[in-house]
Amino acid sequence: MKDDLDTALAHLTAARNVVVLTGAGVSAESGIPTFREALTGLWARYRPEELASPEAFQENPQRVWDWYAWRRQLCLDVAPNAAHHAITALQDLVPELVLISQNVDGLHQRAGSANVLELHGSIHRIRCFACDRPGGDWPDPVGEVPVCRCGGLMRPTIVWFGELLPADVLAQAEQAALGADVMLSVGTSSLVYPAADLPYTAKRQGAFLIEVNPQPTPLSPIADVCLQGLAGTWLPRIVEALSARREA
Ligand code: NAD
Ligand code: ZN
């Protein structure tokens, strides 16, 4: 019975360490398009690698800067949805919760989640392409690519195609997966590595795996429970049921 909410709730109630891994699907109901969906209008003529790689930045920094400026504004213009809020609420209903996200949009933080492990970086901060010096938030107005005091150009702190994930963040995420009693995989296609490895790591050491996604993914066959549907529907339902159990 893979759609068994009661079994999922029983494991969540008994769990000490809960790990939540989120992907683009958790922000879909906020209106954030996936990378490919966003390649419309002005941007339709580019392939993702032409906008999101170190080579693209070297070739045309202003174009890449403008693309991220536009994506960042999109993120600022939308609000966290019921799924983000439910994850924040879940933090108070279990002894330990680690939130790992592949999203760069900052919506978990805006919903009140603290200490998000951002595997793919954040669109809201910049750093130097040459010397790595953190540059904080974007300049206002966004304008031309800012120049670092080393003479290098500033870039968004996003993990681009061909780049490694931040090693310290990945190590913390792996540590959390190794200690998880329950892992929730929410709104991720489970195709992008190494993030997609984390639920396997958790499962191997005995974690109970819950997947929330309207579509089956490569992870579904090993998930203990697959809650088929929207994150914004299932996560508030889980939180409501857990709170009710707490009060009972
Ligand atoms: P993905 O786009 O590959 O997959 C999204 C998954 O979410 C799919 O399996 C889809 O079925 C599911 N989904 C769609 N709507 C949903 C909903 N309402 N509720 C629950 N699930 C839903 O995303 P990914 O697995 O995160 O990997 C893609 C890469 O793109 C990542 O590297 C990520 O960093 C990046 N990305 C980030 C953002 C963001 O920050 N919001 C947006 C697009 C892409
Ligand atoms: Zn520099």
**Judging by DSSP bridges, how do beta strands 17-22 and 208-213 pair with one another?**
unpaired
Residue with tokens 């600022």: 76
Instruction: Spell out, as residue ranges, where the chain has pLDDT lower than 70.
Output: 1-3, 36
- CA–CA distances in Å: residue 140 to residues 48, 62, 63, 73, 237: 26, 16, 18, 12, 40
The annotation places the binding site for substrate at 68, 71
Q: Residue of the nearest CA to atom 22 in ligand 1?
A: 25
Ordered domains of the chain (ranges, CATH)? 1-31+80-120+165-248 (3.40.50.1220), 33-77+122-158 (3.30.1600.10)
- What pLDDT score was predicted for residue 3? 64
Cβ of residue 196 lying under 6 Å from some atom of ligand 1? no
Contacts of 96 (CB under 8 A, 6+ apart): 16, 17, 18
Mutational pocket test of ligand 1: of 20, 35, 228, the residue with most ligand atoms within 8 Å of the beta carbon: 35
Q: How many helices (H) and strands (E) does the chain have?
A: 10, 9
C-alpha–C-alpha distance, residues 211 and 187, integer Å:
8
C-alpha–C-alpha distance, residues 164 and 144, integer Å:
27
Q: Which atom of ligand 1 is nearest to the CA of 34?
A: 43
Cβ of residue 61 lying under 6 Å from some atom of ligand 1? no
CB 84 within 8 A of CB 129: no
C-alpha–C-alpha distance, residues 49 and 161, integer Å:
7
- What pLDDT score was predicted for residue 2? 56
Cβ of residue 106 lying under 6 Å from some atom of ligand 1? no
Task: Give backbone dihedrals phi and psi of 153, rounded to 5 degrees, phi first.
Answer: -100, 150
- What pLDDT score was predicted for residue 229? 96
Residue with tokens 């310290």: 168
Cβ of residue 189 lying under 6 Å from some atom of ligand 1? yes
Q: Which atom of ligand 1 is nearest to the CA of 27?
A: 41
Residue with tokens 């760069």: 104
- What pLDDT score was predicted for residue 209? 98
- What pLDDT score was predicted for residue 44? 84
- What pLDDT score was predicted for residue 167? 97
CB 117 within 8 A of CB 166: no
Mutational pocket test of ligand 1: of 213, 227, 230, the residue with most ligand atoms within 8 Å of the beta carbon: 213
- What's the pLDDT tens digit per position in 152-185? 999 999 999 999 999 999 999 999 999 999 999 9
- What pLDDT score was predicted for residue 43? 80
Give catalytic status of residue 85 as yes or no: no
Q: Which atom of ligand 1 is nearest to the CA of 75?
A: 41
